[in-house]
Each structure stands twice: as C-alpha cells, then as structure tokens.
A and B are shown apart, each in its own frame.
Chain A
C-alpha cells in the first residue's frame, strides 16, 4: 500500500485528527495522528486494513513531548505500518491498544515503565522489567546514566 492510498483511506475516518502520512523506508508509511483518535485508528487498521499482527510498541522521549509508536504487520499485504502519536510530557496519557491487539499488553507495560506513558484502560499496567515500586522511567532523557563530567575528564585527559 502506498502512503497516499493509506492517507486517503485514513483521512475519511479520522478527518483532521490524521496529521500526516509520511513515506517510511521498508514500510507502508508512517501515520501520525492525534492521540484522541487512537482507539478508532487501531481498530480500523487491524480490522479493515488487516494489520492483525502488532509487532512493537515503543516510546521516545523528545523532552518537550513524548512519542509513542506502534508497528503492525499485515499478512495479506506483507508489509508493516508505523503509527505514531505525540503525547505531552506533563500529561502522558494514551488510550491502550490492548482491547484491539492482545499482543499490546506486554509491549505497553514496557513502554509504560521505560518511557512513562500512561495507557488508559490497560488491563494490567504493572512494571515488567524493573522492580515493583521503582521510582524512575529509565528511558527518559532526564534519567542520566553517568555524570557528564566523566566524559569531560576523559576528553581532556591527554
């Protein structure tokens, strides 16, 4: 499926909530949408477009906002599609995809604990990899692995 086709298809459904459909190497396209359209879009992508296999859910911390992306695969079209949306950093809520794709449960748990995205209506939003009660979301940029001075010293140590 070409990005344009995808755009036409989704524009009917989402209207202005579809922000853009960009070409993406090795995929049908990268769909950027408003987070309010999440569940509607997921349902459409899975049931109408046939992307039944959810492969990956990830979050990126862009400091001022956070991006959540979903990768899904269609067996009929034999291609991936990338769905991505932005959530503000101070209100990182997004509708969970778990009711649509069962596979999303663990992926979203991971995105929650590492990037701090709060998935609404998720059946089991617990921490997965880090210990229970761990206070940090390690993949946020504010979580530093080591002090920047370390690098400074190393560079000047000639």
Chain B
C-alpha cells in the first residue's frame, strides 16, 4: 500500500511529500517528492543586484538564514574579487555559530515533537527566542535578517551586545543538560531511537550525505576544520562525532555541536571586544555600496566594466555542507547562482535509511535528518 505522507502532514515539517510503500507496518519502499516550495530563487537571483540576493537567502532556509547569507556572500565576494575586513569575518563567524545554535535548538524542538514529546518542544522554542533576540538586536529582524553585504556586514554590533550574548550563552548551557535529561535520560527515548535509520560512513559518502548525519556515522568531517573559512582556524573547538550512525547518534552529535558552538561564540565575543574596526570594505564598486544606482538592462548604464570571475564557497551549515557557485560576467547581476543544499542530498537517500523500519519510525528518522524544505526546493 502506498501512503502519501504529505504535503500536508505533521511529520513533514514543511511542504514535501514522502511516498512510502508499506507492508503492514513495515516500510518496503520510499520516494520523497519535492518541489512544493520551489520559488526559483536561483532564477530570481539572476535579475537582482548582488546585495539584493541576500534578501532571498533568508528565505532559502528559514531556520538558518544567516548561514545561507554568509554562504552566498562569500561566494559573491570571491566572484567579485573583494576583500572583507577582518572584523566582518569574525562577525560572520559569530553569526554563523549563533545561527547553528538557533537551528539545532529548533531541530531539537521539532524532533522531540516527532517522538511525542510536547514539553521540550516548547523549551526549545523558548530558548531559540533568546537567540532571535540577539539577532534582532544587531540585524533588526528576527528571522529575515538581510545583514550581510558584499564587502562585509551592514552595521557593527551595538553597544553592550557582547555582554548580552555572554549572558545568553551562560543561560543556555544548563538548558542543554535539561534537554539531555528529557531525552537521553528516558528509557523510552532509547527504545524509540536506538538502531533506527542506521547508515554507515561509506553509505553516507556514496549518497552525498553530509553534516551531523555523516558525523554520527563516525567520520569527523567538518568543513570548519577541514577547509577553514571565515576565521575558524583561529578558534578552538572539537568536531562532534558518534559511531553508531543511528537516530540517537545524530541526536548526540547535534547536542555536542550546540556546546561546541557556545564555545566558539565565546571566543568570537572575546575577539570582537578587543578589535574594533570597520565592518564594510571601502573599495566597493559603485553598485555594491548603498545607495544603488538606477540600472537598466545588464550593464547598460555602466561605462566601466568590472573584472568577471567565478566564486565558490562552501560552509558547514547547521544541516550539513552547503555550497554556492556564483558566476560574475561583469554586470550588476550575477549571471548564474547555484546552491548546493545539504538537506537536498540528505533527503535523496531517504530510501536507504527508511526501508525495513516501521511506519512509526518515519517521524524520528526523518526528524533526525533535520529537514528544511525551503533550502531543498529553493
């Protein structure tokens, strides 16, 4: 019997359809169907200024907007040959890590709800709100930040931000122990999640699965360590790994990453306290600094050509490894923007980690993938 789980279904956490074939309560086949949230962000980007694409990035992944902003903007800067001030890089690293905390806490909230825990869901939402408060205090919005600009970030951190962020971090650390008590401390959680959705590291690599799912299978692959971007080579942190490759292992990896992110955030705050400076590059082409000149068709009003180039960037987004590929042919608009969404790849292997388990296992397994449909469909 084929059952359509979606596009309107409590398990999906977004708009997508998981078609599963079941035999009694056992899954024998699975086929995810995507595209319900396809907005053509790559196409719209071709008609926008480099800076205006940032507004789309917040909507690409609605739980990790700033990670996607930095992903796109680093690729765009590489394509435009622009150097970024040191302080802006650290601020980007700070925002990436705050966003990772926000996203993982959001994941925790959604995941525990899948296995029937309503209480931690609200704890997660409550704690994520503090991260959103922090974001709001320097970006001006709670979810759609529009904070990054080509050449840096829009504005510096407000006065007293670092103290505020430290207070939030201090408050969050004991909350993570509370999360663990509610999940790992419960035998039922282990009954539900152990040996579920198992994947070995080799399978993960073959299927293109990255992020916490891959690390839970025992491979310590983290772009922040392997290919340091921003200033990750200057901060201390450990890559969280587990060995079992099942749902519990993914939980453990994400929880450990939360704690490591707090560690990185604290180092960033210390650095930012000591090193004031400019946050936006000074040598920007006319149409990249604000305000924006009126434009006609591609490059039509520009007598001056800018060097073309191709930019590639890869960041360790909360869901996995995201990449952006920006082609600049010298106009005000990018010629082509291509994103690689980690969830897209993680979901493409759905069949291999669903078949053989029960229908009741679908929510925890798909929950442990941490699906954000916005970035899958783009």
Residues of A within 8 A of B (CB): 24-27, 52-56, 58, 60-61, 69, 71, 75, 78-80, 82, 101-103, 105-107, 110, 114, 127-131, 138-139, 143, 145-146, 148, 151-152, 155
Contact = CB atoms under 8 A, between A and B. Distances in A.
A58 B208 contact: no
A129 B377 contact: yes
Give the most central of A27, A131, A139: most B CB within 10 Å: A139
B35 interface: yes
Interface string B3-46: 00000000000000000000000000000001100101011100
| Size band of the interface chain B makes with A | 35 or more
A119 to B, nearest CB: 15
B227 A52 contact: no
A128 B340 contact: no
Nearest to A146: B47
12 contacts: A24-B310, A52-B206, A53-B210, A55-B208, A56-B340, A60-B336, A60-B338, A61-B336, A71-B323, A78-B226, A128-B34, A129-B378
A25 B311 CA distance: 8
B325 A145 contact: no
Interface string B277-305: 00000000000000000111100000000
Nearest to B42: A139
B34 A55 contact: no
Contacts of A138: 40, 43
Contacts of B377: 129
Nearest to B336: A60
B323 A129 contact: no
Nearest to A53: B205
Given A53-B208, A103-B207, A25 B44 contact: no
Contacts of A130: 35, 38
A155 B227 contact: no
A42 to B, nearest CB: 14
B312 A60 contact: no
A55 B314 contact: yes
A79 B223 CA distance: 10
A78 B227 contact: yes
B314 to A, nearest CB: 7
Interface in B301-349: 310-314, 321, 323, 325, 327, 335-336, 338, 340, 344-345, 348
| A24, A82, A129: residue with the most chain B Cβ atoms closer than 10 Å | A129
Contacts of B297: 148, 151
B219 interface: yes
Contacts of B321: 55
Contact of B323 (A55, A102, A114, A139): A55
Given A130-B38, A148-B297, A24 B208 contact: no
B43 A56 contact: no
Interface in B220-255: 221, 226-227
A56 B323 contact: yes
B78 interface: yes
B313 A26 contact: yes
B208 A103 contact: yes
B344 A25 contact: no
A52 B78 contact: no
Contact of A58 (B40, B44, B295, B338): B338
A106 B325 contact: no
B235 to A, nearest CB: 18
